[in-house]
Amino acid sequence: MNVLNLDDFSTEEINQILDLAEEFKNGKQVDYKGEKVIANLFFEPSTRTHYSFDMAALKLGCKTQNFDAENSSLKKGETLYDTVKTFEMFGADAVVIRHVENEYYKQLVGKINIPILNAGDGTGNHPSQSLLDLLTIRQEFGKFEGLKVVIVGDVTHSRVAHTNMKIMERLGMTVYTSGPEEYREEGTKFVDLDEIIDKVDVVMLLRVQHERHEHSMIETVEEYHKLHGLNMDRVNKMKENAIIMHPAPFNRNVEIADDVVECSKSRIFKQIQNGVYVRMALIYKALK
């Protein structure tokens, strides 16, 4: 089984993956006794996705190889396909790949004969992040149908936003977007943060993805924080049971105030923890 794009999974299959992740959270044991090897091939920087896939593999009793792109033969012009094929020939049982190119996996499918787990493609998809976000929401509310979420920030450049907007709508949630006008995404329900903050169940913040911008953002950090950042004044206007999420890494005092990061409504570190369980579920299903 490949995990490339959540569009390939029915809502029933998505709930089954979340159920399995919940089982791992509750202590389900699987031990491959070092007989399976997961290769983590990150062609873009990552902390959470890379090392939680690694941790998930280790918890399942797999061995891992962690590709060092900076000191690899990429520097000699080797292609993505040739790199991935090399790890398949080494004997990897599955590959986890993050790459800057949207839908990079289309050049691999049908030619790579081990499961591919997409750890993020450009501004396109981030399926494992979206699944851990869904797990966190389901743990909190016990359902998706009828929930309202606002995704705030650099929606245009965010694979997390793009993946979540599609799957959340499919699961019956209403998704709004907010933030600077320049990051407004066509076809989304774009709203003023201060007008929606007291009406939503989830406030999902995004980092400004400077690395994907051709020119620097117009606003200063202070202006951004004042206009679009989540501070305690805004938190205090949220519904009593509403929660704050962020895929991280976050920039303190830009999109999120320092004192909001670990406030009682924040589920940011819980998301990170859930990432391990979701990735255990994905590796387990891929190896089956």
Interaction site with ligand CP (CB under 6 A): 46-50, 129, 247-249
CB atoms within 10 A of CB 59: 17
Tell me how far, at minimum, the Cβ of 75 lies from ligand CP, in Å: 22
* Minimum CB distance to ligand CP, residue 47 (Å): 4
Residue linked to tokens 């089984």: 1
**Least Å from the CB of residue 158 to ligand CP:** 10
Nearest in space to 123 (alpha carbons), one of 87, 157, 166: 157
DSSP 150: E
Nearer Cβ to ligand CP, position 47 or 236? 47
Helix (H) or strand (E) holding 278: helix 268-287
Minimum Å distance from CB 76 to ligand CP?
A: 26
In the bound state with ligand CP, the residue whose beta carbon lies nearer, of 50 and 265, is: 50
- If the CB atoms of residues 127 and 179 are measured against ligand CP, the closer one turns out to be 127
Decide whether 50 or 225 has the Cβ nearer to ligand CP.
50
Least distance between ligand CP and beta carbon 198 (Å): 27
Least separation in angstroms between residue 96's CB and ligand CP is 11
The C-alpha atoms of residue 56 and residue 24 are separated, in whole angstroms, by 10
In this complex, which beta carbon is closest to ligand CP, that of residue 93 or of residue 121?
121
Task: Tell me the residue length of the chain.
Answer: 288
Q: Which helix (H) or strand (E) holds 23?
A: helix 11-25
Shortest Å, Cβ 121 to ligand CP? 12
Calculate the CA 40 to chain-centre distance: 16
Please say which residue, 114 or 132, places its beta carbon nearer to ligand CP.
132
Burial zone of 200 (CB within 10 Å; 0-12 exposed, 13-18 middle, 19+ buried): buried
The distance of closest approach from Cβ of residue 28 to ligand CP in the complex, given in angstroms and rounded to an integer, is 24
Q: Hey, what long-range contacts does 12-16 have (CB within 8 A, 24 or more apart)?
A: 14/131, 14/134, 14/167, 14/171
In the chain, at which residue ranges do the beta strands (DSSP E only) sit?
37-42, 63-66, 94-99, 116-121, 148-152, 174-178, 189-190, 202-205, 243-245
Q: Which is nearer to ligand CP, 246 or 265 (CB)?
A: 246
CB-wise, 126 or 265, nearer to ligand CP? Answer: 126
Q: How far is CA 157 from the centre of its chain?
A: 13
Whether 140 and 264 have beta carbons less than 8 Å apart is answered as no
